[in-house]
Structure 1
Amino acid sequence: MNTHNWPLENLTPNQKILADYIQKNMTSILYSTETEIADQLNLSNATVSRFWKTIGYRNFKDFKNNLKEHIEISPANKLENIMQQVETSDLQTQMLKLSTHHLEETLLHFSSENFQKAIDALVMSKKIYIYSPGPSEGLGKLIDFRLSRFGLSIHYMPKSGHEIFESLVHLTDQDVVLIFGFVKLHPETKVILDYSKEVGAKSIVMTDCLISDFNTTADIILFSSRGELWEFHSMIAPTFLIENLIIGVGKELKGNSISKLEELNSLRSKYKDLLPR
């Protein structure tokens, strides 16, 4: 993984979008022009041109020269480049390739340290609060369903508005908040993260941004690729990461998770005539 030391405190919202795009496309950026980057992100050429000095370089050429010295060529980089050249009328084949790309990119930027921290935080928490608005609702429901089976205490938070306060008022320093924060930091997410920090609760954010305000506001960041802003947003990689979290938590709980599942099976058997599956 090639990680640039971005001066987040000095970047404007548009510059953070630009930094995130560059972080995700470290190899292909070497073959891009400023105009191509500006067109891809719907930014002005001037915004892109001014960006390089903000992050400590004379110009785009200077940035490229520095990048060439540190670039890491990996299978994921090669896959990304070849996929940009492939076109097909076969929808299923094309979507399979895109899904593979998202999984590869997620693993390319995967942090084993953050992943283990997330598992430890979930296992050690008194209660897990889940905030999954919009299209991430299914992800929240999935991890809610699976972790509840292990005997963990889960609270599913309202999506928006003042009802969020009804959940936050019960948050303590023994709890964890799991947030799905794709694309940008929404007002509700900002409130949840701010209050979590105030009471000392751990915050885990799953996001599709490598560079964003989440980097400075959340305790643990889990990146999963969903495509760029202008692309169809896939949930393949986020689901992959969630399923890995579930298995990781189950392994940490060991006997307790197995015991709860055996108890569930006993309940089903006991009442199978009244509540058949």
Structure 2
Amino acid sequence: MTLQFPRMPEQITKAESRILDYISNNPEEFLLSSIGEVGEKLDVSGTTISRFVRRLGCGDYKELKRLVADQNISEGPAAKLMQTLHSEEAFTVNNWFLRQQMYLQKTLEGLEQEEFQKAVSALCSAHRVFIHAKSASSSLGQLLMFRLRRLGIQSVLLPSGGSEVLEGLSQAKAGDLVIMFSFSKLSQEGKMILGYRKEAGYQTLTFISRAFVPEEERADIQLFAYRGEAKEYHSMTAPAALVDALVVAVSEQMGEASVENLSHLYHMKKTYAPNR
């Protein structure tokens, strides 16, 4: 849900970004929550929320609630695409690439470096890597699996949906890593993956585009990638760049082992597939 405010500050803090993200993605829950309850959930003070409310141009918390309640915004892929196309005077490839630069910058600002390093270490130490990606994210899952296999990391692509996910997930054990792409909301398959991790003992890593994620939807490791506002066409530029950055960092940490794996693959191709 994309909200319109009397004014939007040019610069907002990480705490304010969490507040805005929470309100946009959980409007019904927000409308039923007091300022203290929201502050406790987001780990920010009531003073911070009140100050941000005023920076948005609202007189107080109650006025912000009325604004959220009154707005009825169209959703869905078609509406998002139309919103993106009409956000500029005319679409040009130059404007589009400039926008992607902004998405990459926002990703860099929202990405926790400690989480990124945890992801690198988890991939390097994992016995096996299971990847779940569906819909538009399936291309990212394929890319990640391809890159990891070239480094000699055993990677498996889980079925995209339904009970078949459980059939693949049943093979995951302690020492394995399960990766999923859960940008705007947690899918039913994502709930299965998080729900089964305690019993199986595997670690979880998720790619998100939300500044706030409820505790029950949190993976062990979370990597943030900005894809645009809720009502915009959702770009895959930043997530794809983040996948490649992760693979390069893993390769560097593996050191000579990654070079040996790539060299071995190269010689196999020369020997057994000379025409390729």
If the length of structure 2 is used for normalisation, what is the TM-score? 0.73
Matched, 1:92 2:103: no
Over the matched positions of the two proteins, sequence identity in percent amounts to 29
1:55 to 27, 31, 38: 38
Equivalences for residues 1-277 of structure 1 within 5 A? 2-4=13-15, 20=18, 22-23=20-21, 52-56=35-39, 57=46, 61-64=50-53, 87-213=88-214, 217-273=218-274, 276-277=275-276
Runs of 5+ unmatched residues, structure 2: 1-11, 40-45, 57-86
Distance 1:252 1:246 in 2: 10
Query: Alpha carbons of 1:59 and 1:263: their partners in 2 closer, same or farther (altered >3 Å)?
Result: closer
Letter in 1 for 2:101: T
Distance 1:188 1:50 in 2: 28
Query: Alpha carbons of 1:255 and 1:61: their partners in 2 closer, same or farther (altered >3 Å)?
Result: closer
Report how far residue 2 of structure 1 moved: 3.3
Match in the other structure for 2:4: none
CA contact (8 A) 2:194 2:219 kept: yes
Report how far residue 21 of structure 1 moved: 6.5
Distance 1:93 1:189 in 2: 36
Report how far residue 217 of structure 1 moved: 2.9
Q: What do the CA deviations read for 1:93-136 (whole angstroms, capped 9, x no partner)?
A: 22112211110110011111000000100110100000011100
Q: What do the CA deviations read for 1:18-69 (whole angstroms, capped 9, x no partner)?
A: x756159xxxxxxxxxxxx9xx88968x9669664533538975444699xx
Q: What do the CA deviations read for 1:192-248 (whole angstroms, capped 9, x no partner)?
A: 111113322110000111112367531001000011221100000001100000001
Letter in 2 for 1:181: S
Higher relative contact order (CA 8 A, sep 6+): 2
Query: Alpha carbons of 1:169 and 1:61: their partners in 2 closer, same or farther (altered >3 Å)?
Result: closer
Letter in 2 for 1:115: F
